[in-house]
Chains A and B, each alone.
Chain A
Amino acid sequence: MHFSHASSVAIHALPCLDFASLRNDVLVQLASGWRVIAFFALPRSLFTEQELHECPADAKHGLCCILAREKNLWAVRCAPLHAFQSFSPEYPQFQRFEREILESYAIESTGHPWPKPVRFIDPASGGPRPGPAQCDYFQVNGGQIHEVAVGPVHAGIIEPGHFRFQCYGENVLNLEISLGFQHRGLEKLLRDGPHLRDVALTECIAGDTSIGHATAYCVLQERLTNTAPPIRAKLLRRIALECERLANHTGDLGAIAGDTGFLPTSSWNGRIRGDFLNLTATICGNRFGRTLLCPGGVNHSFERHDCETFLPRLEAAWADVSGAVDIMFASPSVLDRLTGTGKVSANLANELGMVGVAARACGLAMDARHQAPIDDLPMHDVNIRTASGGDVLGRATVRRLELADSVTLIRADIESLASMTDADGEWKTDIPAQLPSHSLAVAQVEGWRGELCHVAVTDGAGKFAAYKIYDASWHNWSGLEMALRGEQISDFPLCNKSFNLSYCGHDL
C-alpha cells in the first residue's frame, strides 16, 4: 500500500499477503527504484483472526516490509511464518535486516548467503547465547595470507567492535566487521511505551546524534496523533539538528586531516567542533542537545535576545572552520592521500542500500531533508550535495559543502525566530496522552551521518507493540567493509574516519 511519508496508517489497512505474493510485489517495487528502509517482525497479536487463518499456529511473528522512494512510502505485511525466501542474493540491501529477523524473531530467511548473528544476543530460536563476535569469518587461504584481528577494545577513545582483515602482505583482500558489543536492549526498553524516559533513551541511541534520533521519536508521535508542533519549535529543532551536523562534520574533517598527518586542521577542528557543541548548549544547557526535544515541540524557549547572542558565535565558529578546512583542501599532500582511497562505486552503494554522506559521496542524491521532510520549513536554496569519487575525498568534500549549507539554514532560521513573538505560537503543542491504536508511522530524519529511520506500530491499547530504529550506520557498515577491499591495511583508520559510523546506533 502506498502512503505519504508524513502520514500514519492503520496497521490493518496494510495488505496482509502470503510471503510468495509479498515477495513478488516487493521485487516489482525494487526493480522500479524503491529501496528498503525497514523490514521487521510484527507480533502475532497485531493480526486479525482472519489474517491468522492459514498460518502456522506456533508462528509467533509476521513480517512488515517498508520501502521508500522520494516522498512516498510503500508497506506490506505477511502473516506469521517460520521461514521465507531471502531477498539478499538479489538485493544485498536486505542482508542485515534478514539476519536480525532470524536472530531476534527466529524467522529464517532461506537462501541467505550467510545468516550469521548481528548482535550476538540470546537467539530467539532458543539455544545458547553465542559469545560476542564468536562466529565463523570469511577466510582466504594460502601460504602467504595472514589474518589481522582488531578489537573489541580499540586503541583510541572509541566504541567497541571487532574487525577481521584477510591480508596478502599489506593488501586487504577482505574486511569483515563483527558488532553487537554495544547492545543495550534499547528497542526492548521502548516497547509498551510511550514512557517517561523514552526521549532520554532515544537521545542515547547514538549520543553524537542525540538531536537526530530524538527528533525522529518526537515526529513519530506527532504523526501518529496528527499533531503539528508550533512554528518556533520547528525552527529551533532544525537549528539544533544543523548544529549537530556542523559539530560532527567539523570533527570528522579534523579527524581525516589527523589521519592524513595534516596537523593544523586536525588540531583546530577538534576545538571548533566544541564551539558548535557549546552553541547547542546555549539552547538547552547540554552540549549534545539533551532535554531539548519533547513530543509536540521543544522544552526550551529561544527569544530574540538569545538569537542575538547566538548569531555572532555561529559566525565566528564558521569563519574558523571554513578557514581551517580551506587550508586542508588546498594542500596537495592531503588531496593526494584522500583521492582514490577507500572507493565505493555508485552501483555498489546502491546495492548495499547505503545512505547519507557516504552515499552522496558516490554520487547518489539521497537526503531525507529533501526527500522525506519532517517539516514545511523552506530550504533556502540548499540542495543535495554529492561528489563523484566514492572515496575518502568524496566523503570529505560532501561534508565540507554541507558545513556551508547548515550555516545557511541556521542563519535563516535564527532570523525567522528572532522576528517571532509569543503571538506566533508557543514552544510546544499538547499531544494526546493516548496514541491511536493499531497504527503505524515512519519518521525519516537526515542525521549528520545520513538518514535515520524510526518505525512505530501501536497495539490495541495505543502502546508500542513494535518500535524499530535504523541508524544510518545500519546500512553503511557494509560500505566500509567493501571500501577496504584492495586497499592497504594502513588505509583503514582513514577510511574508518571518513565513514565515522555508530556502533551503538547499530547495536542499540
Chain B
Amino acid sequence: MTALAPTAAPARAAAPPARNRRALLRRRALPYLLLAPALITFGVFKAYPIVASLLLSLTTGSGAATRNAGLSNYRRLLDDPLFWTALGNTAKILVVQVPLMLALALLLAVGINSALVRWRAVWRLGVFMPTVTGLVATGVMFAFLLNTEHGAVNSLLGQLGLPAVDWLGDPFWARMAIVLLLTWHYTGYNAVIYLAGLQGIPRELYEAAMVDGAGPLRRFFSITLPALRPVLLFTVVLSTIGTLQLFDEPYVLTRGGPDNATLTVSMYLYDNGFRYFDFGYASAIAYALTLIVSVLGAIQMRLMGERE
C-alpha cells in the first residue's frame, strides 16, 4: 500500500491533463462526427463520380474492353461538328431564355409584392405551381399544345389572325418551344426567390425616397434593383448553369430535332453514353461542359458581384 502511494500520487496528479486531452479531442472530433453523414454521402454520390468520370474521360471502350486513351477524347471533341452544334444551340437558348425568364420573374415578384394586390397567397401559389409539375408531364402537355395541326397554341394564333407556326418541325421555332417550356417551368421559382428578396428591403428606404419625391420607376431602379443585387446574381448564375445543363425539356419535347436544332450538350452527352455506349467520350463532354460552366460562372460573379 505504502509502496503504491508514491506512484499513485503522480498518477492522480497527471489525470486532469489526460481527461482534458480526451475532452479536447472529443470537442474537436464532434463537429466532424456531426458532419460525417453529409461528408460521406457527398463522397460516395458526388466526389466519387466526379473523379471517376474524369478518369473515364481518359479511356475508350467500355466494360472489359476499357483502354487508356489519354487526351484523345478531348481532341475528338474539338473536331466533332455535333458537339459544336450542341454548344451553339445551348448558347442560343441561353441568351434568349435566361434574361427573358428573369425579367418576367422580377415583374411578377414586384407585382405580387405590391400593396394593391389582394389574395397574395393565391397568386404566389399560382406562380409557383409550374415549378412543381413533373417535367415529363410538362413535355407531353406542351407537345399537345404546340401540335401544328391540332394544338391549342396554333388555334389561338389563328383566332388572332396570325399564321400557324410549325413549333416542333422548324429549327427556329423548335428552339423557341424549348424557351417557352423553360420559361413556363422556372419563372415561378425565380419569382418566389425575388419575392423573398423584396420583402427583405427595409420599408423606410421607400418612405424616405417618397418624401424626397421619387416616383415608382425611380424607386424601382434606385432602391429595389440595387438591394436585390445579390439575389439577382444568385438567380442569374443558377439559371445559367441550369440552362447549360439543359436536358429534360428537349429530351421530352423534341429529342434534339429538327435537324439538331435543339440538341444540347447534355443531350449529346447522354446519347454518347447511353445510346452509343461511348462512356469515355461522354465523360469528356461532361468535363468540357464543367469547364464552360465554371468560366461563365466566374465571369458573371466578376461582373455582377459586390464591388470591394
A and B part of one assembly: no
Residues of B within 8 A of A (CB): none
